[in-house]
């Protein structure tokens, strides 16, 4: 039940975002009898999978790790693909919401616009786009990393009279490419997936590429009901193992130095990981892939030679699989493809290199690039997101000096443990700046980070802590740690969204903690076990009966 006082909703916790993190956090708070409510600006549960329904949109994690670990969920829900599409994920999230009885505690089509912190009562006043205000002691932002679309700055975009869509804001109704002239700007994951689908039915597909995507073969599989049922007993062990690996998959990086392998061993490793498909060639490779130039180049050359076998048009080989790497392999996120490189063998697919033929402008009828006018019926902007910072920085959340989180991050990317920003008390977030984010499988991160958020709030409430805030020096040390790890790696050598390079004007700096799941979990656990030395804690005058009741409830879980 939502409590109201003076027409303002009173809550213990406000959760924003209905993806993996938000639903997990909501469920965990409800189990502890918190007065908690979740808000999302979408039409329903799913987070990114409520909003991303462009053609071909699907996950790049194997299904056995891309779901909640609650046995009540995975033992009772079946998928039909190894890498499910958005069409399967939407009913999955609805199943979760019903199984966990979450619906009375969620409100949709409601966007958080901003919040101010009441220093006297130590509560947040959260303002929503429907004009309402909700008060809560704790504000939890579970809005995800891939939330805020990044539109390219191209002259004349608004003048185009045909259909135009950003892949992250696709219409709910079906969009058909049948018989159309389609332009796709961008060759990241959403671009690759859209290009694959459009190539099947469009009269013409023109791809505007700046950097080739070093995409890996997906190795898609389909399952009948009986086949999935036979596989189900293996899911629990895969989930358990995924909690012990670098990136939350059911395979891990190799730790033996690349230089210690014989040439025959290197060849065997490359071949084995390639044939396993999925991200094994990347996140199941030797760890030296991210640090050692020789190891990285060996992987690139293997990828190049395998990929070139599929490209039949000679003039496209150097554009799609260059002789020398355009950047260190894996330092810019590869995606998983099914028939991406094969589409360029078709007569209805054209590739435009925007390095030699830059896009000059969009017109009423199409795009001018390299002095050539091409007419289109549909333009797809597959230009990605303002990752890690965009969703949180867009909110009008102010500290005591009237500064927003964006103001802080414009000066320096600063968080403590990727969970809090100094100056913003009683506010936590997940899957954002300086957390593992895109370097950790989504559901794995949701449960790891969500558990810490819930347990931290519960622990502090039980101690009658009314106000908690990240210490500035602790946040600076965490930011330095994130940058130090990145600087030891090959990551800064690529202009990627990992480094914020996809958003014009964004400061080039590593956006995530890339030290891996175990190192991150250790940092979270140590903070909690040591009594939160990185936080400024302000206790209340006395514990209340509600806190006592919750202590008993927590003890029973």
pLDDT in tens, the chain (557 residues): 455 555 557 999 999 999 999 999 999 999 999 999 999 999 999 998 998 889 999 999 999 999 999 999 999 999 999 999 999 999 999 999 999 999 999 999 999 999 999 999 999 999 999 999 999 999 999 998 776 777 889 999 999 999 999 998 899 888 999 999 999 999 999 999 999 999 999 999 999 999 999 999 999 999 999 999 999 999 999 999 999 999 999 999 999 999 999 999 999 999 999 999 999 999 999 999 999 999 999 999 999 999 999 999 999 999 999 999 999 999 999 999 999 999 999 999 999 999 999 999 999 999 999 999 999 999 999 988 777 788 898 999 998 788 999 999 999 999 999 999 999 999 999 999 999 998 999 999 999 999 999 999 999 999 999 999 999 999 999 999 999 999 999 999 999 888 988 888 888 999 999 999 999 999 999 999 999 999 999 987 544 444 444 555 555 56
Helix 20-31 to helix 442-462 angle (10° resolution) is: 30
Q: Which of 322, 347, 381 is the last residue of a domain?
A: 381
Domain boundary among 381, 406, 421: 381
Among 190, 219, 223, 323, residue whose Cα is nearest residue 280: 219
Q: Is residue 431 part of a domain?
A: yes
| 453 and 506 Cβ atoms separated by less than 8 Å | no
Number of domains in the chain: 2
Distance, in Å, from the CA atom of 161 to the CA atom of 169, rounded to the nearest integer, reads 18
User: 381, 416, 435: which is the final residue of a domain?
Assistant: 381
State the Cα–Cα distance between residues 354 and 158, nearest whole angstrom: 20
CB atoms within 10 A of CB 93: 20
Paired residues of 141 in beta bridges: 16, 429
Query: Do both 319 and 269 map to the same domain?
Result: yes
* Residue 19 located in a structural domain: yes
Which tens digit of pLDDT belongs to each residue from 483-542? Answer: 999 999 999 999 988 898 888 888 899 999 999 999 999 999 999 999 999 999 998 754
Same domain, 351 and 404: no
Check whether residue 268 and residue 360 sit in a common domain.
yes
Residue 258 Rama label (left phi>0; alpha psi -120 to 50; beta): alpha
Range of the domain at 434: 3-148+387-556
> Could you give phi then psi for residue 373, rounded to 5 degrees?
-95, 125
Are residues 376 and 434 located together in one domain of the fold? no
Q: Look at phi and psi of residue 76 and say left if phi exceeds 0, alpha if psi is from -120 to 50, else beta.
A: alpha
- Count CB neighbours of 147 within 10 A: 23
3-state secondary structure of 466: strand
Q: Are residues 478 and 411 in the same domain?
A: yes
Residues 393 and 467 in one domain: yes
CATH for 546: 3.50.50.60
Q: Are residues 197 and 309 in the same domain?
A: yes
For residue 227, tell me if it sits in a domain. Answer: no
Residues 322 and 445 in one domain: no
Please indicate, yes or no, if residue 154 is contained in any of the structural domains: no
CA torsion, ordered 472, 475, 477, 479, to nearest 10 deg: -140
Residues 37, 120, single domain; the answer is: yes
Task: Kindly write down the DSSP assignment for every residue of 181-194, as one continuous string.
Answer: EEEEE--SHHHHHH
- Total-model pTM: 0.94
């Amino acid at each position: 039940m939502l409590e109201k006082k003076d027409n303002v909703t009173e809550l213990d916790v406000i959760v924003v975002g209905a993806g993996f993190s938000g639903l997990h956090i909501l469920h965990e708070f409800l189990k502890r009898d918190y007065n908690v409510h979740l808000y999302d600006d979408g039409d329903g549960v799913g987070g990114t999978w409520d909003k991303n329904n462009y053609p071909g949109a699907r996950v790049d994690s194997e299904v056995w790790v891309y779901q909640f670990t609650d046995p009540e969920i995975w033992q009772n829900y079946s998928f039909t693909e190894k890498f499910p599409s958005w069409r399967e994920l939407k009913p999955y999230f609805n199943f979760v919401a019903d199984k966990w009885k979450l619906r009375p505690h969620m409100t949709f089509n409601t966007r958080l616009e901003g919040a101010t912190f009441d220093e006297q009562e130590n509560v947040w006043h959260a303002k929503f786009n429907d004009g309402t205000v909700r008060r809560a002691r704790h504000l939890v932002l579970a809005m995800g990393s891939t939330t805020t679309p990044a539109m390219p700055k191209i002259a004349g975009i608004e003048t185009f009279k045909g259909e135009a869509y950003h892949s992250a804001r696709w219409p709910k109704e079906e969009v058909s490419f049948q018989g159309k002239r389609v332009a796709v700007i961008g060759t990241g994951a959403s671009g690759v997936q859209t290009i694959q689908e459009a190539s099947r039915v469009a009269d013409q597909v023109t791809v505007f590429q700046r950097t080739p995507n070093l995409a890996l073969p997906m190795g898609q599989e389909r399952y009948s009901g009986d086949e999935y049922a036979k596989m189900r007993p293996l899911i629990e062990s895969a989930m358990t193992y995924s909690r012990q690996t670098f990136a939350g998959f059911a395979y891990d990086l190799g730790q033996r130095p690349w230089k210690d392998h014989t040439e025959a061993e290197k060849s065997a490793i490359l071949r084995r990981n390639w044939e396993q498909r999925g991200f094994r060639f990347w996140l199941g490779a030797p760890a030296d892939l991210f640090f050692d130039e020789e190891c990285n180049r060996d992987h690139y050359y293997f990828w190049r030679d395998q990929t070139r076998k599929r490209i039949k048009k000679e003039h496209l080989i150097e554009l799609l699989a260059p002789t020398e790497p355009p950047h260190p392999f894996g330092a810019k996120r590869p995606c998983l493809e099914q028939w991406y490189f094969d589409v360029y063998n078709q007569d209805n697919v054209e590739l435009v290199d925007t390095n030699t033929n830059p896009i000059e402008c969009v017109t009423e009828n199409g795009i001018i690039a390299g002095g050539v006018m091409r007419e289109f019926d549909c333009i797809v902007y597959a230009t990605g997101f303002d990752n890690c910072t965009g969703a949180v920085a867009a909110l009008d959340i102010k500290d005591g000096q009237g500064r927003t989180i964006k103001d802080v991050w414009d000066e320096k990317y600063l968080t403590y443990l990727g969970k809090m920003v100094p100056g913003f008390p009683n506010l936590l977030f997940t899957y954002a700046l300086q957390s593992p984010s895109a370097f950790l499988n989504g559901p794995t991160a949701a449960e790891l980070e969500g558990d810490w958020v819930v347990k931290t709030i519960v622990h502090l409430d039980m101690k009658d802590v009314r106000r908690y805030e990240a210490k500035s020096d602790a946040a600076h040390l965490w930011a330095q740690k994130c940058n130090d790890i990145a600087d030891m790696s090959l990551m800064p050598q690529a202009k990627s969204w990992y480094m914020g390079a996809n958003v014009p004007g964004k400061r080039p700096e590593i956006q995530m903690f890339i030290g891996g799941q175990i190192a991150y979990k250790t940092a979270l656990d140590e903070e909690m076990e040591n009594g939160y030395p990185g936080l400024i804690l302000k206790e209340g005058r006395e514990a209340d009966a509600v806190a006592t009741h919750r202590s008993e409830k927590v003890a029973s879980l």
